[in-house]
Structure 1
Amino acid sequence: MSSKALPAGRQARVSVIMSVYNGMPFLKDAVESILNQTYENFEFIIVDDASTDDTWQYLKSLKDRRVRLLKNKNNLGLASSLNVALRQAQGDYVARMDADDISLPKRFEKQIEFLLKNPSIDLCGTWADLIDENGKIIGEKKFPKRHLAIIRALLLLSPIIHPTFFAKSEVFKELKGYNPRFEYAEDYEFLLRAKEKFRFENITQKLFQWRLWDERRSRAQMEKIDQADFKVKWTAFERGYFGKSYLIIVFLKFLVTFVTPYFIKKAIAKKVKLA
């Protein structure tokens, strides 16, 4: 789609990909937020990653013809499950969604409109309100808008909210999806690979509600995320993405990951609402 427009009269189709593992009780709100989008020409590919709660029973109860269900025999993790969905995707665009968040009704409408008006941009995200377990807004997340600012921010973090990814399908095809070696930071590593060829931008509207809840701040979860983030930064250094001076940032991340006490990391994460 970067080289040619859609045939006249054909509306672009979106493949929405979502993986879920034990998604209750937030799953229903997440699914309904997609089915209630004002832009209606999409397929919704949901991969149940071997859930042990009532997730599969709920998914099977859905009657919307746009929903396509897949079920893993074993728990594969987010990156591998998203790749399962990507292999089935048939849309002109691919949109991400997570099973505990909420997409506001005009999210897809605004994102597809943005990419059609800005053909040089290959992937866009949006800003978000942060919500707690009860759906109460507790903050907001605004990442840089322009491509070059996003590239600079990639030195430190993933500056596009992963479940707001909305991209031309060839972005995922050419990169062969996510790398399962970087589970818990698969979006960060994906953007680092993508920056070599594709252009990004964030829409400066809050079109998403990103849920921060206690499980995301648990010691086990934060340690996994920190270690994955360190692994991505070390790999970025090895690949030469940011030059030799990037080793300083890698070393600082090593200290944060393996030396800083958990209670300090949790306090900082809550303060800046990164977790």
Structure 2
Amino acid sequence: MTTPSSLPAGHDALTDVTVLMPAYNAQDDVERTLASFVEHAPVRVLIVDDGSTPPIVAPTLPNLVVEILRMPQNGGIERALQAGIDALAARGCRYAARIDAGDLAAPGRLAKQRAYLEAHPNVAGVGMWTQVVSRDGQPLFMLRPATEPDAIRRLRFLRSQFVHPAMMLRVDAVRAVGNYRIAYRAAEDLDLFLRLMERYDCANLPELGLYYELNEGGISATKRRRQIVSTLRLQMRYFNVTNVCDWLGLAKNLLHLVTPYTALGRVKRALFATHSA
């Protein structure tokens, strides 16, 4: 495994950035995802192996420095991300760039997000627009959330404003608000973003940063009811009665609770396809 001291001299543009990827029994997806990073500087990666059997092996890829943090047993993405953030803080890392095994990074994503955070010190997290693709790589629809902090706050419950694996986060800000938590299972990202937005701004870059693989076996599908219940709990905790979008978002998630996943997927594809046309 390559170590930080063996990086080529002069290539320091991303030395304070680390890609944070939790993984569980996904060796092939891990390798495919990491191979997608194309940057003009070496890319550091921390894989949090959440009790995989067999254990995840660090792939040898050009321009990447890969380290693995092994969890003692499978404890879920919330604990894996919490441990990953703590490990990055201990290493002095400033920025954590999230991605999930199976997703692909657009070229230059890390440099663009880091430059934005460097220029906007009150922004704790910045995402990017995302192309959703099928398991065989076919484009399905684009996710173009709001870019400005005020719009994101207003629309936070009406429509998801961040694609979690497309985010770059300030490690110190994440820890300052309590890190990832297990209190809202399968909605750990929304929980974190809401806490961040109480103290900082969050934003999105209006350009493609990620190819998100729609996996019918992923958390959104297999733990859908738990995710919706956690989201509803968060909506009630942060509900703003003067914001009409909070009311509409509450109605939308109640509808999601009683709508079959396959039917909901078809509706989403149709709506996003129409919006993208």
Go from structure 1 to structure 2 and tell me whether the alpha carbon gap of 1:269 and 1:24 turns closer, same or farther (over 3 Å shift): farther
Aligned to 1:192: 194
Aligned to 2:165: 163
1:14 is aligned to 2:13: no
Q: 3-state SS of the aligned residue for 1:178?
A: coil
Per-residue deviation, residues 42-101 of structure 1 (Å, max 9, x unmatched): 531101112235x62x42666977211112221111111011111110212121111110
Aligned to 2:118: 116
CA distance in 1, matches of 2:18, 2:148: 25
8 Å CA contact 2:18–2:95 kept in 1: the answer is: yes
Aligned to 1:29: 32
Question: Which residue among 208, 211, 225 is the counterpart of 1:209?
Answer: 211
How many residue pairs match? The answer is 256
8 Å CA contact 2:127–2:204 kept in 1: the answer is: yes
Give the structure-2-normalised TM-score: 0.81
Go from structure 1 to structure 2 and tell me whether the alpha carbon gap of 1:223 and 1:243 turns closer, same or farther (over 3 Å shift): farther
> CA offset at residue 234 of structure 1?
2.2
Aligned to 1:136: 138
8 Å CA contact 1:157–1:188 kept in 2: the answer is: no
Go from structure 1 to structure 2 and tell me whether the alpha carbon gap of 1:226 and 1:37 turns closer, same or farther (over 3 Å shift): farther
Letter in 1 for 2:22: S
> CA offset at residue 145 of structure 1?
0.9
Aligned to 2:253: 253
Q: Hey, which bits of structure 1, 4+ residues long, moved more than 4 A? A: 60-65, 244-249
Go from structure 1 to structure 2 and tell me whether the alpha carbon gap of 1:272 and 1:76 turns closer, same or farther (over 3 Å shift): farther
Aligned to 2:53: 52
Tell me how large the CA RMSD over aligned residues is. 2.8
Q: 3-state SS of the aligned residue for 2:78?
A: helix
| Identity, % of aligned positions | 22
CA distance in 1, matches of 2:25, 2:109: 25
Q: Which runs of 5+ in 1 are unaligned?
A: 1-9
Aligned to 2:87: 88
Which aligned pairs between 1:69-108 and structure 2 lie closer than 5 A? 69-89=68-88, 90-108=92-110
> CA offset at residue 143 of structure 1?
0.7
8 Å CA contact 2:16–2:94 kept in 1: the answer is: yes
Give the structure-1-normalised TM-score: 0.81
Question: Which residue among 239, 242, 254 is the counterpart of 2:240?
Answer: 242
